[in-house]
Each structure stands twice: as structure tokens, then as C-alpha cells.
A = this chain, B = another copy of it.
Amino acid sequence: MVEWKNLDSLASFQALLDSDCVDLAAVMSGDNGADRAKNYSVKMGAGLVYNYAAKEVDEDVIEKLAALAKEAQLVDKYAALYNGEVVNTGEKRLVLHQLTRGQLGEAVTADGVDKRTFYVEQQQKIADFANKVHNGEITNAAGEKFTTVVQIGIGGSDLGPRAMYLALENWAKKNGTFKMDAKFISNVDPDDAAAVLASTDVAHAIFILVSKSGTTLETLTNESFVKDALAKAGLDASKHMIAVTSETSPLAKSDDYLAAFFMDDYIGGRFSSTSAVGGAVLSLAFGPEVFDRFLKGAAEEDALAKNADIRENPALMDAMIGVYERNVLGYPATAVLPYSQALSRFPAHLQQLDMESNGKSVNRFGDPVDYVTGPVIFGEPGTNGQHSFYQLLHQGTDIIPLQFIGFKNSQIGTDVDIQGSTSQQKLCANVAAQIVAFACGKKDENSNKNFEGGRPSSIIIGEQLTPESLGALLAHFENKVMFQGFVWNVNSFDQEGVQLGKVLAKKVLAHETDGALRVFSDLLNI
């Protein structure tokens, strides 16, 4: 039986507060630095490695972090979660996204069914459907193949699937598994849907409406937008649309859709990339086998997160170092910096995953906490970021911890050799250089060119960005966020903070406002 306690009530946290600060520039120099770079790493799934040599930790801090992880019962809480305890206490729901990729513990029954069986069934239904679209058994009314899939969804129904699609698009093209283009409509800004539709051959497009409740304003509005466009093109919308929704939603059994695939209340939007929400679009775009390989990579990572030894549990190590940086060292933000153009939208997905999960001020019992919780997350791919905001990261007045990601090989494999090295080698040389530049700095008599160093980073390294390594990468961060939520004793699985804006927007549209809201509504011509 686990006990849910606030971070500052734990003895091991008090011990952590008394840690001696690590002089990162010093420990990362010379042979000691080389030893750290070799040894401060944890194996992840799918051949990835999490390296934390350039973090402000040493054996003493790691021991204290391990003690905190143990006292906070983090691995036990993970077990409670995957064994079907009601961990999302606010909404009184189970939390089952890991079950979409594997059975980690006991069978979990909810709504009268075995949930692992339910998720696998949905995957199989999607695979069958996708195969039929690809082999021409399911076509448009004219009997022609669909060539484009367009996902209509927002938040978790958009950011994760979009980031995963972009991550694998070129890999799939290179490896002969690319089936059809995917596009995404998310924003209620009418220019979003209009621009996507203008660049889409709608007669050969299949649209996926993604809304768990079937009531998301943006998504239903954009569905109408699409139906309008289909009608204007003389097409029967019900032959071009499928739904991903919960079984109890109004969309589930509607004749408006060619097919419906199901998710449920036990998977939050930001954790839904491995559910039908990501499954439908990724299976249509790349084939179900690719989606299956993506799930396998995530499952490997989920299994590693069960390990009680922090040195063999990469998500736990990453989570605890993050807590140390946030609650002891006081850093306000973390930058996610993938050296891979294919991961261009991965930081935006992690931004949602992390900030929506752990941006909370009350604990799971509703009591205000007296410590900081989730940080700001932002990032762009390297080397682009180097020519942008890295100036502040290197020489700004705040220290921002960094999360690098790098792969030895590119996805497409086309390259040029300039000045004795390939572009891929230049890319990798840059990320290696940045780690050491941030950690060690460089003294210069011209203080404008002086680098203090002492700026912490970690790096995840892989052979190549593949379906498996992408799955492992995604699950790593999901599990990191989960562990941090446990440490902070917040409910990482609800999002009450998004509600008030929705309520007030409805009032504006109903012209039921006064005061400042009335004035702003007038200023915006509503």
C-alpha cells in the first residue's frame, strides 16, 4: 500500500537540501570528466542511452536522490498505477496509457472488460482498416484510393500524433513503408482548416475526427468546416470520415463515419499517442507494422521504469535529477534540444506533456503545496537553436537545464562531405561540443567572451530515430513526468486549469459579459 505525501514532509528531501553543490566545470574537466561521461549513463529501451554526466550530481547527490525515490515509493506508485489503482483521484479514474503497449502487471478490468484486451482489439481494428485502405478495399465513393489522411483534433489529439508523424515521415519514405501523407487541423482559427483544405485533394482524403468526449468545441467546429468543404466538392462526408472517440460519446455509433475506433477515460490526451488517437493516423500513414514497432519501443521503456534501482531506471534518474534542479537548485525552466530535424515538434509535445501534467499548485488531496512543481518546457532542434536562443543559455543570468537528444545516423542517409566531414558528423560534433561548452565554459580576459560554465545538461543518444527508438523516447518522458508528479504529490492526470477559459469564452459568445471582459469582447469585435 503506497502513501501519498508531500515532498517537503519527507526526511530524505531534507537531507537532499543539505547536499553540497557540485562544481560542474571542475568535475567535468580532465580524466574525471571522461570517467563521468563513460559511467554516468543508464540504458534505455531500443538501444538508447540516457547520459547524465553533465548534470550537477555526484555519488552523494545520487544516493540522496535514490533515497528520496525510495521514501516517496515512486516505483511502488508506478506499480499501483499499472495495476489499476485510481491514481487520477481528481477525476476518479484509472491511468492506463502504458497498457496500450504492454501488460506490466496484473490484469486490469474496468467498464466490465479487460483493458489490455480492449486496447489490443482497437489496435487490430485499426490495422485491419488501414490495410484495407492501403490495398484499396476501402476507397472513396468513386472507387479510388485515399492518398491523404487529415487528423482533426487539438491538444493531445494533435501535438503528440503530429510530432510522431514528423519524426517518422522521412524514415518511412526511406524504408518503403510510407503509405500516405498526413495533415493536421487543430486551431479554431478558420485559417488553419482553410489552408489545410486548400492544399489537400479532398476527393482522395480520409479525415479522422478525434475527440474523446465528442464535445471539444474546436474539433467539432473544424469537423463542420471540413464537412462544408466536402459538400461543396460534391462529396458524401460519411464516406470520408472516421472517428476516434470513447464508446460512450455521441460519435461512437453515428452513421456519419466510415468507422469508429475507441479510446477511454483512462488515457489522458497528452498520453494518448500510443492509443487509437495516434494509432489511426500513424497506421494509415506508415502501415500498422510501423505503429506496432513504435509500441514495442515504448513497452521496452515502460518495463525499465519498474526497476527499483535508480541507476538502472532511466526515467526515474531523469525525474529525480529534474526534481533536484527544480526544488533544490531553483531553476525555473528546462530546454529540450533534439539534434534531429525530424524531432522538430517533439519539444512542443513535451511542453504539453510536462506542463499540463505537473503545472499544479495543489496536491492530490487539494491542499496547496509549499514548493515549486513543474517547470516551463521549451525547445527547438539543434543546430538551429544554437543560432537562436543559445546565447541566453550560455551567458544569460538564469541557469536553464538542458535535455539534448542525438542520433549517430540520419534517417534519409543522403549526405555531403565538406571540409573532411559529413553533415551528420557536423551535427553530432555540435551536440558533443555544446555539452562540454555548457558544463566547463572557458575563461577569457574579455569578459564579453567569457563562459562561466556550470550549466547542466543530459543527453539521450541513439543509433537512429526509428519507430522503436521513438517509442522508447516518448515513453521515457511520459514516465519521467509521471515520477515527478508522484514526487510533487500532484495529480498529473487531470487539467482543471483549462476549464475557466472555456467557461468565459462561452459567456463572451453568448454576450453574457460585463466589466473588462465586455470591453475586450468589444475591442475584438465579437
Complex interface bits, A448-463 against B, C-beta within 8 A gives 1, otherwise 0: 1111100000010100
Picked from B373, B389, B440, the residue with its CB within 8 Å of the CB of A356 is B389
CA distance A354 to B52 in the complex (A): 29
Contact at B505–A426, with CB atoms within 8 Å? yes
Contact at A516–B53, with CB atoms within 8 Å? yes
Contact at B390–A425, with CB atoms within 8 Å? no
Contact at A359–B501, with CB atoms within 8 Å? no
CA distance A87 to B461 in the complex (A): 43
CA distance A270 to B224 in the complex (A): 40
Cβ contacts under 8 Å, A170 to chain B: 191, 194-195
Cβ contacts under 8 Å, A356 to chain B: 388-392
Residues facing B in A398-447 (CB within 8 A) are 398, 400, 406, 408-412, 414-416, 418-437, 439-442, 446-447
Cβ contacts under 8 Å, A503 to chain B: 433
> Binding site of A, secondary structure by majority: helix, strand, loop or mixed?
helix
CA distance A499 to B332 in the complex (A): 25
Q: Give the size range of A's interface with the partner.
A: 35 or more
Contact at B391–A427, with CB atoms within 8 Å? no
Contact at B159–A388, with CB atoms within 8 Å? yes
Contact at A420–B333, with CB atoms within 8 Å? no
Question: Which residue of chain B lies nearest to A394 when distances are taken between CB atoms in the complex?
Answer: B497
Contact at A376–B428, with CB atoms within 8 Å? no
Q: Which of A34-42, A73-81, A97-105, A233-241 is found at the contact surface with chain B?
A: A34-42
CA distance A494 to B228 in the complex (A): 51
CA distance A342 to B190 in the complex (A): 11
Cβ contacts under 8 Å, A143 to chain B: none
Given A170-B191, A383-B188, A442-B500, CB of A433 within 8 Å of CB of B341:
no
CA distance A461 to B423 in the complex (A): 43
4 pairs of A and B residues whose beta carbons are closest in the complex: A359-B392, A155-B387, A433-B504, A33-B516
